Structure 1
Amino acid sequence: MDKLIIWFDGSCPLCRREIALMKRLDRRGAIDFIDIASSDVEDCPVDRAELLARFHACENGQLLSGAAAFAAMWRAIPLLRPLGKLARIPIMLRVLEHVYKAFLRVRPRLQRFAQSLELA
């Protein structure tokens, strides 16, 4: 099984915090985390604008986006694996995708808030 690849926006304070937590939980080193803000992403099948707009992962050669990418990340971390497996149920994945899309609408405000906390 190939390592899971996760692309994240290292310039986003929300993303940095979440990925820091995921790195701590990924004790087996099953995930390659690639910061698209500071890395060359030429090998990525998705352009930079799309990577910045939605969360992406590559699981066993399959490119995933949004809730499916989060579910793949959860499956790679033993503590979160049950949640990731639950997301394999199509209706659960659809619900998670709706929640993710709602999050994307408020993400800019949350980013500004998190940024203000970092500056304080």
Structure 2
Amino acid sequence: MKVFFNNSCKICRSEINLYKKENIKDIDWIDITNNSDAEKETSRNDKELLRRLHVKENGKIIEGAEAFLYVWKKIPKYKFLYKFFKLPIIFSIFKYGYEIVAFFLYLKNKKQLKKLS
């Protein structure tokens, strides 16, 4: 599984670093910052990648709150988060909450996007 994340965002980096400490061999952590290979592999542009967490597993791209479920499911220490947040009503709340937080993080970090001139 590949996890595409924004390493230039302090909040994103801090959270992903917690997961990286678990040394899960099945997860490749890919920084999306100015990464055209990530754009090609996910078929997402830099704005889309910056906007949400993305996971690629078995050729499928998963994004946003659902991507976090995939990450948590793979990490034993965080599997309790997967079990809780996958519950239908909880997932709905989580998904909307994630989108709100992700939007504000996007606004905060969008200056890092490549300038098209």
Tell me the TM-score range normalised by the shorter chain.
0.7 to 0.9
Q: CA deviation at 1:105?
A: 4.2
Instruction: Name the stretch that deviates more: 12-21 or 72-81.
Output: 12-21
Structure 1 vs Structure 2 CA RMSD: 2.1
Q: CA deviation at 1:28?
A: 2.9
Q: How does 1:55-74 map to 2 (within 5 A)?
A: 55-74=53-72
SS of residue in 2 equivalent to 1:11: coil
CA deviation digits over 1:73-112, x for unaligned, max 9?
111100111211333332222111111022124426876x
CA distance in 2, matches of 1:81, 1:60: 20
Pick aligned residue for 1:104 from 102, 105, 114: 102
Unaligned runs of at least 5 residues, structure 1: 112-120
Pick aligned residue for 1:30 from 23, 26, 32: 26
CA deviation digits over 1:39-66, x for unaligned, max 9?
3222222222100111111233332111
Unaligned runs of at least 5 residues, structure 2: 110-117
Aligned length: 107
- Structure 1's 80 and 105: CA in aligned 2 closer, same or farther, altered over 3 A? same
Identify the residue that residue 82 of structure 1 maps to in structure 2: 80
Pick aligned residue for 1:92 from 72, 90, 93: 90
CA distance in 1, matches of 2:79, 2:18: 15
Identify the residue that residue 18 of structure 2 maps to in structure 1: 21
SS of residue in 2 equivalent to 1:43: helix
Q: CA deviation at 1:20?
A: 1.2
CA distance in 2, matches of 1:6, 1:68: 12
Give the structure-2-normalised TM-score.
0.76
CA distance in 1, matches of 2:32, 2:98: 20
Q: Percent identity?
A: 33
Q: Is the 8 A contact 1:10 1:38 kept in 2?
A: no
